[in-house]
Amino acid sequence: MRIASWSWGGRLHVGVASLASNKGADDHFELTPLAVADPSLGALPLIQALARGEALPSATGARLPIDAVTLVAPLPRPLRSLFCVGRNYRAHAAELATTIFSTSAPAHDEWPIVFGKLPECVVGPRDVVRLPGAAVSSQIDYESELAVVIGRGGRNISRSRAMDHVFGYTIVNDVTARDVQQRHQQWDLGKSFDTFCPMGPWIVTADEMDGRATRVRGWVTPKGGTPELRQDGWTKDMIFDIPTLIETCSRGITLHPGDVIATGTPAGVGMGLQPPRWLGPGDVVRVEIDGIGWIENRFEPIEHSGHAG
C-alpha cells in the first residue's frame, strides 16, 4: 500500500495511491481519499491508528488521477525531529573523509552518527527548496536517502525484532548547508533550514518492499543543463543496516508511530566532487528509490519566495 497526502479542491486529503495501469510510471497512479479526521497531519494519525490495531479508514470520495492533484509530504509535519544517520555508506565516508568526517571517529566505528533535522523543514515531493542567501550559506548540497517510518513504537528494540516496527519507507533529500554543518560541533543547524527536507512521494508499506535491499539514485540538473546522475547506491551497502539503526535510536528513547529515520546517503554529494559543486538557483535535484518512486525539487533563492513559509 502507498499512503499519500495531497492538496485538491482547496483541501488536504490523505489516502491510498494505486496503479491505474501496469505501466509502472507514477503518472499512471490514482489516488483514493480515506476518511481521516485531520488531513493536515498527513499519514501520521493513520499510522498511529494502525499501530493501535485499528482498521484502515474507509474510502471517501472519488479516485483522482495523480496529475490532477498537488502531492504534499506524506508526513508534512512529523511528530518531532527526524533521526538522521551520518556516514552510513563507506564510499560516502571516504569522499568526505577530509571534511565533514575529519574530526569524527573512523568508518569502522562501533556506533553510527545520529543527528536531528527539525520537523518544520519538511516540504513536499515537488516543492521548491529555498536557498538561504550567501550571507547565511553558500554551500548548499543534496543527500539522496531512504527514510524508514516507524509503525509500532517501542524502547530498547532489539535488532532481531526491529523490522516488526517498520511501518514503511519514503524518500527524503537531506539538504545540507555544508559550511554551517562544519562550523558547529553538532550538525542540526546546517541540516534544518526551512524547506531543507523534501519528502515523498508517499509511504510504501513494509509488506510491499524491503528497504534493506533497494537502489538509491540522485540526479542534479544544473540550470539550463541536462540531468547528471551523481549518486547511485544500494541500501544493502549501508555500514549500519536498518535493524541496527532502529536498535540504536531506540536505546533509552521510546520510538513512536510516525517517527522517521533517514538512513544516510550514498557517495556522490556535491561536496565530494573535485572541485565541490554547490546547488544554485534553478538547479533541480531528483531522488529516486526503487520500489517507492521519485521526488524532484527545484532550488530557488529565498528572496523570490511567494510565501512566508
Site string for Mg ion, 253-272 (x = CB under 5 A): ------------x-------
CA distances to 143, 183, 245, 259 from 232, rounded to whole Å, are: 11, 28, 21, 26
- All cell numbers assigned to 242: 536498518
Cβ of residue 83: shortest distance to Mg ion, in angstroms? 11
Cβ of residue 48: shortest distance to Mg ion, in angstroms? 26
Nearest-angstrom CA–CA distance, 6 and 186: 34
- Comparing CA positions, the residue from 128, 296, 57 lying closest to residue 200 is 296
C-beta closer to Mg ion: residue 127 or 174: 174
With contacts defined by CB under 5 A, name the span among 25-33, 56-64, 151-159, 167-175 that binds Mg ion.
167-175
Cβ of residue 260: shortest distance to Mg ion, in angstroms? 12
Q: Which residue has the cell 502507498?
A: 2
C-beta closer to Mg ion: residue 17 or 93: 93
Residues in the chain: 309
Cβ of residue 186: shortest distance to Mg ion, in angstroms? 14
C-beta closer to Mg ion: residue 88 or 205: 88
C-beta closer to Mg ion: residue 164 or 179: 179
> Any bridge partners for residue 117, and if so which?
82
Cβ of residue 247: shortest distance to Mg ion, in angstroms? 19
C-beta closer to Mg ion: residue 26 or 143: 143
- Position 168, amino acid: G
Query: Is 119 in contact with 79 (CB distance < 8 Å)?
Result: yes
CA distances to 3, 140, 147, 261 from 203, rounded to whole Å, are: 5, 26, 9, 13
**Residue 143, interface with Mg ion (CB under 5 A)?**
yes
**Residue 95, interface with Mg ion (CB under 5 A)?**
no
With contacts defined by CB under 5 A, name the span among 25-33, 60-68, 143-151, 285-293 that binds Mg ion.
143-151
Nearest-angstrom CA–CA distance, 187 and 262: 14
C-beta closer to Mg ion: residue 155 or 236: 236
Q: Is 15 exposed, middle or buried (0-12, 13-18, 19+ CB in 10 A)?
A: buried
* Residue nearest Mg ion, CB atom distance: 174
Query: Is 121 in contact with 196 (CB distance < 8 Å)?
Result: yes
Cβ of residue 97: shortest distance to Mg ion, in angstroms? 16
**Residue 174, interface with Mg ion (CB under 5 A)?**
yes
Q: Which residues of this chain interact with Mg ion, rule CB under 5 A?
A: 143, 174, 265
